[in-house]
Chains A and B, each alone.
Chain A
Amino acid sequence: MMRLYLVRHAIAEELPEQFRFGDDLRALTAKGRNRFRRTAKRFARLGEPVRLICTSPLLRAVQTAELLAAAVGHDDVKVLDELRPDAAVDPLLARLAELGAPSAALVGHKRLMRELAAALAHVEAERIRFRRGAIARIDVRHLDDVASGKPLWWMAPSDDEVTPGLPLDEALPA
């Protein structure tokens, strides 16, 4: 069994100051940092055993991962190419199986986090509202079997409590 904590990076600058650097180098805003620091602190208080923090190599994700590492006091941070915005779910799961940690936080981007949550929770990706700086816990019995996934709870940047299940769009029928 593996506990996964899916984390979407916190709020980043809309546009980089220098266009030449592009999307990879958008940094977190002060608001994004402050909010996520609070989220990470609340997460740390839950006492969840995070053994590994994996992050997309993009700047905003690396910063988010470091804020999380500081809050939970765990220092094993790995930068994974498999968490890039354009990556696919399967290679990511394969890489996680290879790393073999009993629990891991994955800091990434909207599309991949949604698709991963959708695959593990057997819902349509479009129904998942993964806000920036949100954290969702999903347990997986076998990483090579997405059907063994079970979403437990999620926390939004503004909430004090965790909410059971997944952040689903309520406008759509269940």
Chain B
Amino acid sequence: MIELYVVRHGQAQDEAVGGDAMRALTAKARKRLHKTARNLADRSGGIDLILTSPLVRAVQTAEILAGSCKPDAVEVLPELAPPHAPEAALAAVSKRAKGAGAIALVGHEPLLSRLIAALAEGVSPGKLEIRAGSVVRVDVDRLPKPRKAIARWWLKSGRHKGLPLKEEPKEAAPKKARAARPAAPAVAKKRPPRKRPAPRPKPLEASEPKPPEASEPEPVAPAAEPPGLTPS
């Protein structure tokens, strides 16, 4: 499997003299990203390659991640910039991947949501909410068109299982895995019992409260049951 870490650039200034492409990260976003970068370095088994959109805020995000994750290479991929289609982006990523087992992609919304949706059939991009500075891990068996994709977890001040979904009032509670909410880990623990073994009492790394490690990842796109796509 190839580990893809889909990263949305951190919060940027509202405007810049040179236009949208020149907007830089805010001081606050940089600080947060350093944390996320360390978090990502701890949780990923190492990242081989970081590919970034050429826009300033994305390049800065990529370089901050690189500072902690120490990839073999940081490369700029114009196809990760806003006007491109997810298929074009994935084709370009696939071309650059050259056997890399863990690749971070730094880019923008809505392209990233569409890209994840393109990886995992049945996920609607409109339901995803990838916030600035967050990381979504999706494992795929191959690129650019995977047969199998697994949404592992996402990071934004703490780790959450599955995919970052927009809150849907009518849906069941466990879907509310929003980072900023202190209740999120508790909700995750209270989840109704399933076939998998009971959650471990303590997360592996206890720097901040987070839901316990999943013993087995849930497939993003099991062909038969679309609701199963949404991560547990």
Q: Answer whether residue A6 sits at the interface, using C-beta atoms and an 8 A cutoff.
A: no
Give chain A nearest CB distance to B126 CB in angstroms: 30
Chain A interface secondary structure, helix, strand, loop or mixed? helix
**Which residues in B have their C-beta under 8 angstroms from that of A24?**
21
Instruction: Confirm or deny: A67 has a beta carbon within 8 angstroms of a beta carbon on chain B.
Output: yes
Q: How far is the CB of B168 from chain A (nearest CB, A)?
A: 37
Please classify the interface of chain B as helix (H, G, I), strand (E, B), loop, or mixed, using the class held by over half of its residues.
Answer: helix
* Neighbour of A77 across the interface among B17, B24, B54, B66, CB < 8 A: B24
In the complex, identify which listed stretch (B27-35, B186-194, B206-214) lies at the interface while the others stay far away: B27-35
Within 8 Å of chain A (Cβ to Cβ): is B22?
yes
A residues near B18, Cβ cutoff 8 Å: 57, 81, 84
Chain A residues within 8 Å of chain B by Cβ, number: 22
B16 proximal to A (CB < 8 A): yes
Residues of the A chain whose Cβ atoms lie less than 8 Å from the Cβ of B64 = 66, 70
| Interface contact B67-A79, CB-CB below 8 Å | no
Nearest Cβ in chain B — how far from A25, in angstroms? 5
Q: Is A77 a contact of B30 with CB atoms below 8 Å?
A: yes
Within 8 A of B (CB), among A6-58: 17-18, 21, 24-25, 27, 30, 33, 57
B162 to chain A, nearest CB (A): 31
Q: Are A75 and B27 in contact (CB under 8 A)?
A: yes
Distance to closest chain B CB from A104 (angstroms): 15
Closest chain A residue to B30, Cβ basis: A75
**Given that A59-B76, A75-B31, A78-B24 are contacting pairs, would A67 and B63 also be in contact in the complex, using a CB cutoff of 8 Å?**
yes
Q: Is A169 an interface residue (CB 8 A)?
A: no
Are B54 and A21 touching (Cβ within 8 A)?
yes
Complex Cα–Cα for A30 and B72 (A)? 9
Complex contact B76–A79 (CB within 8 A) = no
Name the A residues within 8 Å of B66 (CB-CB).
70
Chain B contact residues, CB within 8 Å of chain A? 16-18, 21-22, 24-25, 27, 30-31, 34, 54, 56, 59-60, 63-64, 66-67, 73-76, 78
List the 3 closest pairs (A to B, CB-CB), nearest first: A66-B63, A70-B67, A27-B76
Tell me the A residues contacting B by CB distance below 8 Å: 17-18, 21, 24-25, 27, 30, 33, 57, 59, 62-63, 66-67, 70, 75-79, 81, 84
